[in-house]
Structures are given as C-alpha cells and as structure tokens.
Amino acid sequence: MTLYSTVSCIEGHACRMVLNEKEVECDVEFVNLRQSPNPILEWNPYGESPTLVDREITLYGSHIIAEYLDDRLPHPPLMPPDPANRGRVRMMIYRCQRDWLRQLREFDEKNRKPSKALRNRICRSLASLGQFISEQQYWLGNDFTLVDCFMAPLLWRLSHYDIILPPQLKSIPLYANRLFARDSFSNSLSHVEREMNLSWGLEQVLALSKVPYLIEAIRNWAMDSHNTPQLVVETDFPGVYIPPQAMKHADNGVVVLNIHDRAIDKFDMNNDRIQFATRFSGEIHHIHIPIQAVLGIFSREQHDGIVFRSGQSGQTEERGSLNEPVSESGPLEKKVTKPHLQLVK
C-alpha cells in the first residue's frame, strides 16, 4: 500500500492521519506535482494529491481514500455503526472539503495566502460550529471519527493562514489540542507541516514521555504494598473528561482520583492518555485523562509519590478519595492529608 501526497497537501494530511490511526504499514511517497512529467499521472488521470495505490486498486479523492481505509482496516473503527451517524460523518466531511479544504488548496497551489474573504468565512464557520463541541470530546461526540482526521489538518494550519479565532471561542482551541496530542497526528506531519504551527509546542507531542512509565510504576508499587494509589489531575486541561458529579470535589482546578484496582475497572494507559471506569454517586462513568493533565501520583497511606508539575494553584495536595469502588459498596474513606512528593523535572 502506497499513499502519494505532496508535503503540504491538507487533504493528503487527513489521509495520512487515518493511516496512522490504523497503525498500518504503508509507504508514504511525497511528490512534487510541478515536476514534469507529473509523477501521479501514472495512477491518477487528474494528477492530484492524495492518491492511494493498494495492490490492484487505485483511489483518489481524500474522502474516498479515508472511507476505503476504514473499511479495509476496521480496527479501530472511525465510522459510527449506525446509518444516521455515518451519514452525519459523510456530510461533515463534505462540508469541510467544499467550504474550506479545497479552497485553501487552490491558494496553496499558487503559493499565495488565502484571501481575506476566505479567512473571514472560515473563521465565522468555525465560530458557528464551535458550540457543538463545547460539551464533547470530538466533533460528532465522544468517539474519534474520520471527521476529526479532516478537521485536524485545517486547525493546525490556522495560524499559517493568518486565520485568527475570536478569543471568546474557547471550544475550538481545546478541541484542536485534543487532536494535536494524538500520536496519529504527530506521526502524520511532514517536515513542512511541522513548521506551520511551531507555537503549539510540537516537542511536547513528539517526545516520548517518561510520565506514563512512572505512573505505572508508582501505581503498581502502591497496590503491591496494599496501599491506595491516587492520581492528581488538572481538571481544566484540554481533553480531560471527569463527570460533573466529581467536579464538586475539585479544588482550584485540581482533583485527586483513587486508581486502585478495587476502585476502578478497565484501567487502560498509553503514552497519550489514561482511561478507566468508576462510580460516582452510584453511577458508572468512563474517565478520560490526557497524560499531560496528570500533576502527580502518590500513595494515600504512605504520603509518598511523584509530582510531575504543579497545577494552576502551584500546589499539589490530597483532598481525599473522591471516587467509589466498583466492586465494593459505599465510598472510600475521605480524609485530608498532605503527601510528601518528589518533583520530577
């Protein structure tokens, strides 16, 4: 399987992100369409980027390529299972392509900045759509879909295109940060695209963090010692989802969560995020915490652990166990203690 794309093709970038979400082995060939003869004409009569060649089949049109990859490589699924939501995904991708991506490509191909009229139109469109993601993780809900693969390249290029969102529109930057923090996004960037948004702090995305390994070590140590591992989380960090029932326990934007196996279910951690299920007010909820939102981890009983960074208040202090065990009745005991933590830089 080979994907042909130019180094700055915004729709090619979307297809590259889909490939990285699927974690499939694929050759990505960056081509120069101004070269004579056009190197893609052998497979694509329009000579356009992106073009996918997979054995005997050749596909062009980024939306066609993206859906083909999702059908061909079903895990993880990037399309909803029901027809109605699949239709919503297709309509949003169509709107994204027609209203934004294709028009921006025309200016890119001419080495020109987008017109002020187009920049203003994109800004207004994003502002009007921003309300739909203020209460959810991704564009069409809490599940990552193909829509997000098409939105990420656009949002990454906003500063490059001099598209300035109004400061009161906070939902779009928060949503963008969730996309940029995914491994599939950082791995999909070409060397040219990496330079389009250096202000975001790409080194935080590309560097392999030691934090997940330390979290796992301290958690296992605490449980093996018959203690309670507790995670200190910055609640306002982009991508954090903690149920509203638990937010009343937050102190100055920081909450402490019991992550012992007795208290949670389906604990899953990778280099990007922590996910698990637990009970708040008698109801099971799914928690999502980006690794960057973790301020520290410690043992409740021994008051010993690690601080990765301070939160907005500059302090990290335990406020008790805030979640209830899945397998036990009633909440864990709440008490206020101040752990002795070691700062890791």
The last residue of one of the domains, among 186, 205, 224, is 205
The last residue of one of the domains, among 205, 226, 251, is 205
Is residue 303 within 8 Å of 267, Cβ to Cβ? no
- Domain hosting residue 14, numbered range: 2-205
Quote the CA–CA distance of 216 and 229 in Å, as a whole number.
10
Do 190 and 84 share a domain, yes or no?
yes
Do 231 and 254 share a domain, yes or no?
yes
65: pLDDT strictly greater than 80: yes
pLDDT in tens, 294-339: 999 999 998 889 998 765 433 333 333 344 444 333 323 333 344 4
pLDDT mean over 180-193 = 90
pLDDT-based confidence at 208, cuts 50/70/90? low
Quote the CA–CA distance of 119 and 128 in Å, as a whole number.
14
Quote the CA–CA distance of 148 and 125 in Å, as a whole number.
16
CATH code, domain carrying 158? 1.20.1050.130
Do 188 and 284 share a domain, yes or no?
no
Do 337 and 194 share a domain, yes or no?
no
How long is the chain? 345
Do 141 and 221 share a domain, yes or no?
no
- Which range, 16-25, 34-43, 327-336, is most confident? 16-25
Do 12 and 132 share a domain, yes or no?
yes
pLDDT mean over 13-35 = 91
Nearest to 77 by CA among 139, 22, 155: 22
DSSP string over 151-164 = HHHHHHTTTTTT--
pLDDT at 3: 94
pLDDT at 198: 58
Report pTM.
Answer: 0.59
Which 8-state DSSP code applies to residue 271? S
Residue with the larger pLDDT of the pair 28 and 166: 28
Residue linked to tokens 């406020």: 319
Do 72 and 176 share a domain, yes or no?
yes
160: pLDDT strictly greater than 60: yes
Do 184 and 106 share a domain, yes or no?
yes
Secondary-structure breakdown of the chain: helix, strand, coil percentages, each rounded to the nearest 5: 40, 20, 40
Task: Give the distance from CA 279 to its chain's centroid.
Answer: 25
Is residue 173 within 8 Å of 123, Cβ to Cβ? no
133: pLDDT strictly greater than 80: no
Do 234 and 160 share a domain, yes or no?
no
User: Among residues of the chain, what percentage have pLDDT more than 90?
Assistant: 39
Is residue 283 within 8 Å of 290, Cβ to Cβ? no
Do 154 and 256 share a domain, yes or no?
no
pLDDT-based confidence at 124, cuts 50/70/90? confident
Do 148 and 222 share a domain, yes or no?
no
Residue with the larger pLDDT of the pair 306 and 283: 306
Is residue 120 within 8 Å of 114, Cβ to Cβ? no
pLDDT at 123: 85
The last residue of one of the domains, among 159, 181, 205, is 205
pLDDT mean over 190-215 = 69
Indicate the number of domains in the chain. 2
Contacts for 328 with CB less than 8 Å, ≥ 6 apart: 262, 263
CATH code, domain carrying 274? 2.30.30.220
Do 250 and 316 share a domain, yes or no?
yes
